């Protein structure tokens, strides 16, 4: 092939027409060309030889021109062939040549005048020519047959014509024709087949060649694409020598990445020219690079991260894909770079952020826990481990709720976690069980944990231990409830303020006392109800106490909208939280009545004091130890002592003539007998002079009736004494004078006596006021007792009812069991069961009764008919009354409007009537009387029963006080009645005498 | 009656639960719950509950709070309270709002409860 290539190049220039022809044609054209030249040369030689032969051969006489002419013509034809060939008409040239050559041969044979053999053997040339045909023919093989046929025909014709001339026998002629024809036909067949085979192989070779060229072209094309890709790739690619490590090929992207100026400047560089001195782990780049290259050479490829350094000092990170390959038995390395500077930065930031959050979570006081979508624990923080006692390895990977929760709570948490996969954030309280079995309440804030693409991969919970908080909340709630209840039912007003005095709460009683609504009282509004005269006092009191941790007390007045004045006694104590005063809480008690009493008392005292001070008599008061309590102005004038000097001293030691102690002792004794006594006594004044007094002494009793001392009214009788003496002297002479004096004395005595009487009356009045005051105070104490009992009762009731429920449930169960299984024991056990059931019932009844104290009944207040209430009660008691007790009724017919809680009133009356009925053991009378007066409606229930003893009468309203047999009464009936009447602002009084009966008097205020 | 009706009793005292079940198991199929939360779970799990009786004072949610929640989801069930308390405002409100049908006092009266349930059935 190589040789052909070379020959192809050597086609003579003269044949340039055939440059584009196929290879065979080129070779054939060349052959024809050479043949034409050779034939022309041959003919020229032939011409000269013919001329020579003809001139020198005797057979020819001179030049035989036909032969020469013929040869010249032949030469001309050959030249023509050559010309045509050069002009590119190969086919015409070749056939022309063949035809001329054959025609030439036949002509020679025809014209030749030689012997037979000379003429006949020339036919060999024809056969030779026929053998050449495959070289001439280009396309049509059949042309060969045509040539053979023509020549065979010409042979037959030639032999037929020339056989006689050459004296050949017919047989020889035929033989010759046959032999020669066969020779020609065979040469034709040979030529035909040579041509055919030649052409076929040529075709094959050409097609192979064509294929080869195509493949080569494709190869060339792919090579160039590859190159283009390499050069234009955005990914930096470098090819490197595996021995010198020099860069031998590099693309533009790599040049840019390395920060080199051009591809040329980059070639010959080594990895060390583009790397940072040390890599991420601190090892030097050269050492590290050699490791990777060796690995790549050994294993084919390696991927790693590499820290690069640009000539301008910029550092950048790349992921290097290094691979080794062989080219022409040379080992090369190629690597591509992916810039991961950003990724590295992000990774670093991510790592730092993760670090930050991790440390945050670890150090957090809250408990953090993360689970995946299958509730498997992914993460817990340190605090979690501390709180719940599990180590990280014990809990991570476990199904969280199975390990940590009550089975009861598990479903809740599963549902919450399911919800979370739907992106639901939730907060709930749940109890965890620590490793040691301890239960801990948590407030869990759960949120879905998401991956960066937003899908929920689990759930993260932030948990706060609220065990303590729950306990505190519960306690707080209970205490609030207690306060609320207390405040609602309290008979005293309750208020609460902030530290600056701003009022935040007042209870109903407070509002009632101040006559303000809740809204009006809040803030500083309550001040509007305070009496203008008391405002300043209150303000001062407030200021002096504010900031101090002591309770303050103040008395002040409210003016209600209806202008009525209510006196209250206010207590306030600071509320201290964390050593700081948060505000004040206080109570106010209605002391109007006491105030009025006090005022009256004061006025009355004032009156007496003025009276005594302005009296002409000398007045002194001593206690039971004769200590002086009081002396009036006249006393100080008469005896010269200032009241400060004398008060508190033992009177007789100071004032009396020691000789007269007997008189005083006698007097003291008679005074002890609770009588008003009169005697004469001599006093020593401060300056020593003696004054005689006529002393009228009367005992002073306090409100309890116990003597607390004496009051002495003393009339100066010094003068009288002197006169008496004088009288004695002149008795006989001056009788009229005596008489006059005596009269004078009598008048004076009378005056003294009347003064005494007045004093006595005043004292009685004073006693009555004091008694009244005492009653009021007692009532106050009683009602406060009831209120606190109510709060206690409500709490106790519920707590007792639960255990009662156990007993009830238990005994019912036992009874049922007995009925079904142990009938034979039933009779024996019946009384015990009965006992338990009766016990439960009785306890429940008491508890139920207790509840009346706490019940803040808001049932309606309606206009009641007291008589129908009484009748109703009598109906209920009917079977206890019938036949043994006569009920007498004296109902008032006056019009009355009684607004009350009918049910409660009913309960109160029933309780009293029931007591009355029970007090009558056999037969008796109950007298019921109602009347309307200014005070209100009075109901008197009188029974002829057994009565109440003196020592019991004060206790009958106390809860649980009963004289009945155990089990017959709870001891609560009258106590509740008392409360009910109190609630209706009424009064209840009981009078009784053993054996005669009891009188209960109820007064209820009427609404007019 | 082909089968006993199913009722749910909620109380935080285990003794109460046990005794209640003992006393009523003959007449009813008694389910028990120790808290409001557990009661709700029971209701969700058992759709054949027709009557619920609950204690009032329980840790966590009290009886009325529990019934409020339960009633929203199961309006067809009849609810009762069984409590040691006297009637108070909260219970009275619940009665007025028809949240509960009736309230029973502790110690319980067996026939009263039975009648109330049977009346409903």
The whole-angstrom distance between B65's CA and the closest CA on chain A is 15
Furthest C-alpha separation in chain B:
40
CB < 8 Å from B in window 390-429 of A: 408, 411-412
Which of B19, B107, B110 is facing A844, going by the closest CB pair? B107
Delimit the domains of chain B by residue range: 2-119
* A801–B15 C-beta distance less than 8 A: no
The whole-angstrom distance between B84's CA and the closest CA on chain A is 5
> What's A168's DSSP letter?
-
pLDDT of residue A943: 92
Closest CA to A564 of A588, A596, A535, A536: A596
pLDDT at B42 over 90: yes
* B23–A806 C-beta distance less than 8 A: no
pLDDT of residue B70: 93
The whole-angstrom distance between B78's CA and the closest CA on chain A is 22
CA atoms within 13 A of residue A930's CA, in its CB half-sphere: 20
Is the Cβ–Cβ distance between A378 and A469 less than 8 Å?
A: no
Q: What is the 3-state secondary structure (H, E, C) of A750-784?
A: HHHHHHHHHHHHHHHHHHHHHHHHHHHHHHHHHHH
Mean pLDDT of A459-480: 83
Higher pLDDT, A305 or A795: A305
A744 — contact with chain B (CB < 8 Å)? no
Confidence of residue A926 (pLDDT cuts 50, 70, 90): very high
Lookup: tokens for A440: 């801990």
The whole-angstrom distance between B83's CA and the closest CA on chain A is 8
d(CA A1000, CA A913): 10
pLDDT at A645 over 60: yes
DSSP code per residue over A610-651: HHHHH-SSEEEEEETT-BEEEE-HHHHHHH---HHHHTTSBH
Mean pLDDT of A55-76: 76
pLDDT of residue A7: 45
Is the Cβ–Cβ distance between B40 and B109 less than 8 Å?
A: no
- Which of A488, A809, A833, A842 to probe by mutation at the B interface, max B CB count within 10 Å? A809
Mean pLDDT of chain A: 81
Confidence of residue A833 (pLDDT cuts 50, 70, 90): confident
Closest CA to A485 of A978, A982, A800, A855: A855
Name the closest residue on chain A to residue B35, using Cα atoms: A408
Mean pLDDT of A66-77: 81
User: Which residues of chain B have a CB within 8 Å of the CB of A474?
Assistant: 59
Which of B23, B86, B107 is facing A813, going by the closest CB pair? B23
CA atoms within 13 A of residue A1005's CA, in its CB half-sphere: 7
d(CA A224, CA A155): 66
What are the pLDDT digits (tens) for A612-632?
777 777 888 888 777 888 888
pLDDT of residue A780: 65
Cα A254 from chain centroid (whole Å): 54
Is the Cβ–Cβ distance between A877 and A917 less than 8 Å?
A: yes
3-state class of A179 per DSSP?
helix
- Which of B20, B83, B86, B107 to probe by mutation at the A interface, max A CB count within 10 Å? B107
pLDDT of residue A611: 80
Q: Lowest mean pLDDT: which of A359-373, A531-545, A700-714? A: A700-714
A848 — contact with chain B (CB < 8 Å)? yes
Name the closest residue on chain A to residue B44, using Cα atoms: A411
Q: How far is CA A290 from CA A103, A245, A270, A752, A757, in A?
A: 87, 10, 12, 141, 137
Mean pLDDT of A555-581: 85
Q: Is CATH 1.10.3720.10 the classification given to domain B2-119?
A: no
User: For strand A618-623 and strand B5-10, is the pairing parallel, antiparallel, or unpaired?
Assistant: unpaired
Question: Phi, psi (5° rounding) for residue A682?
Answer: -105, 125
d(CA B45, CA B38): 10
Closest CA to A119 of A50, A168, A69, A182: A168
List CB contacts of B104: < 8 A, sequence separation 6 or more: B53, B80, B81, B82, B83, B112, B113, B116
Furthest C-alpha separation in chain A:
264
User: Which residues of chain A have a CB within 8 Å of the CB of B110?
Assistant: 812
Q: What's this model's pTM, rounded to 2 decimal places?
A: 0.29
Name the closest residue on chain B to residue A806, using Cα atoms: B16
A431 — contact with chain B (CB < 8 Å)? no
pLDDT at A639 over 60: yes
User: Which residues of chain A have a CB within 8 Å of the CB of B42?
Assistant: none
Closest CA to A419 of A375, A484, A475: A375
Confidence of residue A3 (pLDDT cuts 50, 70, 90): very low
Higher pLDDT, A115 or A556: A556
pLDDT at A845 over 80: no
pLDDT of residue A5: 41
Q: How far is CA A65 from CA A62, A69, A466, A992, in A?
A: 9, 6, 147, 205
User: Which residues of chain B have a CB within 8 Å of the CB of A804?
Assistant: 84, 106-107
The whole-angstrom distance between A462's CA and the closest CA on chain B is 21
pLDDT of residue A911: 87
Confidence of residue A6 (pLDDT cuts 50, 70, 90): very low
d(CA A155, CA A161): 10
What are the pLDDT digits (tens) for A930-948?
999 888 899 999 999 888 8
pLDDT of residue A570: 87
Chain A with chain B: Cβ pairs closer than 8 A: 71
For residues A318-330, one letter each, b for 16 or more C-beta atoms within 10 angstroms of the residue's C-beta and e for the rest, the string is bebbbbbeeeeee
DSSP code per residue over A871-887: HHHHHHTHHHHTTTEEE
pLDDT of residue A56: 78
- Which of B106, B113, B114 to probe by mutation at the A interface, max A CB count within 10 Å? B106
pLDDT of residue A549: 72
Burial (CB count <10 Å: 0-12, 13-18, 19+), residue A315: exposed
pLDDT of residue A756: 87
- pLDDT-above-90 percentage for chain A: 3
Which of A798, A804, A812 is facing B23, going by the closest CB pair? A812
Which of B23, B37, B107 is facing A801, going by the closest CB pair? B107
Name the closest residue on chain A to residue B85, using Cα atoms: A798
User: Which residues of chain A have a CB within 8 Å of the CB of B89?
Assistant: 856, 858
**Could you report how far apart the first and last alpha carbons of chain B are, in Å?**
10
- pLDDT-above-70 percentage for chain A: 90
pLDDT at B80 over 90: yes
Confidence of residue A1 (pLDDT cuts 50, 70, 90): very low
A376 — contact with chain B (CB < 8 Å)? no
Residue A212 CB neighbour total at 10 angstroms:
11
* A805–B86 C-beta distance less than 8 A: no
Q: For chain A, give the number of residues.
A: 1008
Bridge partners of residue A590, in order along the sequence: A568
């Amino acid at each position: 092939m190589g040789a052909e290539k070379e020959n192809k190049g050597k086609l003579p220039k003269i044949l340039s027409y055939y440059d584009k022809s196929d290879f065979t044609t080129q070779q054939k054209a060349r052959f024809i060309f050479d043949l034409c030249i050779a034939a022309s040369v041959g003919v020229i030689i032939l011409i000269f030889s013919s001329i020579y032969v003809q001139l020198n051969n005797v057979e020819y006489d001179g030049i035989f021109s036909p032969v020469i002419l013929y040869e010249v013509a032949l030469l001309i034809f050959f030249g023509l062939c050559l010309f045509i060939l050069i002009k590119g008409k190969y086919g015409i040239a070749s056939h022309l040549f063949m035809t001329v050559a054959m025609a030439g041969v036949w002509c020679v044979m025809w014209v030749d005048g030689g012997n037979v053999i000379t003429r006949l053997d020339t036919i060999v040339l024809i056969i030779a020519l026929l053998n050449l045909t495959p070289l001439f023919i280009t396309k049509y093989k059949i042309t060969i047959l045509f040539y053979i046929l023509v020549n065979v025909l010409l042979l037959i014709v030639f032999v037929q014509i020339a056989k006689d001339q050459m004296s050949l026998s017919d047989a020889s002629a035929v033989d010759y024709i046959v032999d020669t024809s066969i020779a020609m036909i065979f040469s034709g067949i040979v030529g035909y087949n040579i041509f055919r085979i030649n052409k076929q192989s040529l075709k094959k070779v050409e097609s192979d060649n064509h294929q080869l060229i195509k493949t080569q072209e494709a190869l060339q094309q792919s090579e160039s694409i590859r190159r283009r890709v390499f050069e234009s790739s955005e990914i930096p690619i470098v090819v490197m020598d595996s021995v010198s490590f020099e860069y031998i090929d590099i693309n533009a992207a790599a040049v840019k990445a390395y920060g080199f100026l051009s591809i040329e400047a980059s070639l010959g560089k080594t990895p060390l020219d583009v790397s940072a001195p040390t890599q991420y782990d601190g090892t030097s780049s050269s050492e590290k690079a050699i490791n990777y290259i060796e690995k790549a050479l050994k294993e084919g490829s390696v991927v790693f991260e590499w820290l690069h350094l640009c000539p301008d000092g910029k550092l950048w990170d790349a992921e290097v894909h290094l691979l080794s390959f062989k080219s022409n038995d040379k080992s090369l390395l190629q690597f591509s770079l992916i810039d991961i500077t950003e990724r590295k930065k992000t990774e670093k930031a991510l790592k730092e952020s993760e670090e930050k959050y991790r440390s945050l979570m670890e150090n957090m006081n809250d408990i953090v826990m993360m689970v995946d979508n299958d509730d498997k624990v992914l993460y817990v923080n340190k605090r979690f481990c501390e709180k719940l006692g599990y180590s990280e390895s014990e809990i991570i990977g476990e199904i969280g709720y199975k390990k940590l929760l009550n089975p009861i709570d598990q479903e809740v948490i599963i549902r919450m976690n399911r919800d979370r996969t739907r992106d639901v954030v939730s907060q709930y309280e749940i109890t965890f069980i620590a490793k040691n079995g301890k239960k801990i309440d948590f407030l869990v804030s759960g949120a879905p944990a998401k991956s960066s693409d937003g899908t929920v991969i689990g759930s993260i919970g932030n948990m706060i231990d609220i065990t303590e908080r729950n306990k505190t909340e519960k306690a707080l709630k209970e205490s609030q409830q207690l306060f609320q209840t207390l405040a609602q039912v309290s008979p005293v007003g309750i208020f609460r303020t902030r530290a600056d005095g701003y009022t935040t709460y007042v209870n109903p009683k407070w509002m009632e006392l101040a006559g303000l609504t809740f809204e009006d009282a809040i803030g500083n509004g309550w001040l509007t109800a305070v009496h203008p005269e008391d405002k300043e006092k209150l303000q001062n009191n407030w200021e002096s106490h504010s900031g101090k941790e002591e309770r303050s007390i103040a008395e002040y007045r409210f003016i209600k909208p209806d202008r009525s004045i209510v006196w209250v006694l206010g207590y306030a104590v600071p509320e201290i939280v964390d050593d700081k005063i948060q505000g004040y809480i206080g109570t106010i008690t209605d002391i109007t009545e006491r105030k009025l009493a006090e005022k009256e008392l004061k006025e009355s005292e004032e009156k007496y004091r003025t009276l005594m001070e302005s009296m002409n008599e000398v007045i002194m008061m001593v206690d039971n130890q004769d200590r002086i309590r009081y002396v009036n102005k006249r006393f100080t004038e008469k005896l010269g002592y200032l009241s400060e000097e004398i008060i508190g001293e033992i009177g007789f030691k100071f004032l009396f003539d020691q000789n007269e102690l007997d008189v005083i002792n006698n007097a003291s004794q008679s005074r002890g007998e609770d009588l008003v006594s009169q005697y004469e006594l001599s006093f020593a004044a401060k300056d020593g002079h003696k004054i005689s007094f006529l002393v009228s002494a009367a005992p002073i009793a306090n409100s309890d009736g116990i003597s607390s001392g004496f009051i002495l009214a003393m009339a100066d009788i010094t003068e009288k004494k002197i006169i008496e003496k004088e009288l004695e002297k002149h008795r006989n002479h001056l009788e009229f004078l005596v008489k006059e004096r005596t009269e004078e004395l009598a008048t004076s005595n009378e005056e003294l006596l009347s003064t005494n009487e007045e004093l006595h009356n005043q004292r009685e009045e004073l006693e009555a006021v004091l008694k009244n005051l005492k009653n009021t105070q007692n009532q106050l104490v009683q009602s406060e007792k009831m209120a606190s009992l109510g709060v206690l009762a409500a709490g106790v009731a519920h707590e007792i009812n639960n255990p009662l429920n156990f007993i009830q449930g238990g005994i019912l169960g036992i009874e049922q069991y007995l009925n079904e299984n142990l009938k034979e024991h039933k009779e024996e056990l019946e009384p015990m069961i009965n006992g338990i059931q009766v016990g439960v019932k009785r306890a429940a009844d008491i508890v139920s009764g207790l509840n009346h104290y706490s019940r803040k009944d808001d049932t309606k207040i309606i206009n009641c008919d007291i008589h129908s209430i009484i009748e109703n009660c009598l109906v209920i008691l009917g079977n206890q009354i019938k036949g043994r007790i006569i009920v007498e009724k004296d109902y008032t017919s006056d019009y009355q409007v009684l607004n009350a809680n009918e049910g409660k009133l009913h309960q109160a009356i029933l309780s009293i009537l029931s007591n009355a009925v029970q007090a009558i053991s056999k037969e008796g009378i109950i007298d019921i009387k109602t009347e309307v007066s200014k005070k209100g409606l009075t109901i008197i229930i009188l029974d002829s029963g057994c009565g109440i003893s003196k020592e019991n009468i004060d206790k009958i309203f106390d809860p649980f006080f009963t004289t009945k047999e155990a089990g017959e009464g709870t001891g609560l009936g009258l106590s509740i009645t008392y409360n009910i009447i109190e609630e209706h602002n009424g009064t209840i009084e009981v009078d009784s005498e053993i054996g005669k009966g009891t009188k209960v008097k109820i007064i209820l205020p009427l609404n007019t | 009656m082909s089968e006993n009706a199913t009722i749910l009793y909620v109380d935080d005292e285990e003794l109460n639960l046990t005794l209640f079940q003992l006393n009523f198991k003959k007449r009813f199929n008694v389910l028990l719950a120790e808290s409001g939360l557990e009661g709700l779970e029971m209701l969700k799990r058992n759709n054949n509950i027709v009557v619920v009786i609950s204690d009032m004072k329980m840790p966590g949610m009290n009886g009325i709070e529990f019934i409020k929640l339960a009633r929203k989801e199961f309006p067809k069930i009849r609810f009762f309270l069984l409590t040691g308390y006297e009637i108070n405002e909260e219970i009275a409100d619940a009665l007025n709002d028809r949240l509960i049908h009736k309230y029973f006092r502790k110690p319980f009266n067996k026939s009263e409860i039975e009648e109330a349930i049977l009346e409903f059935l």
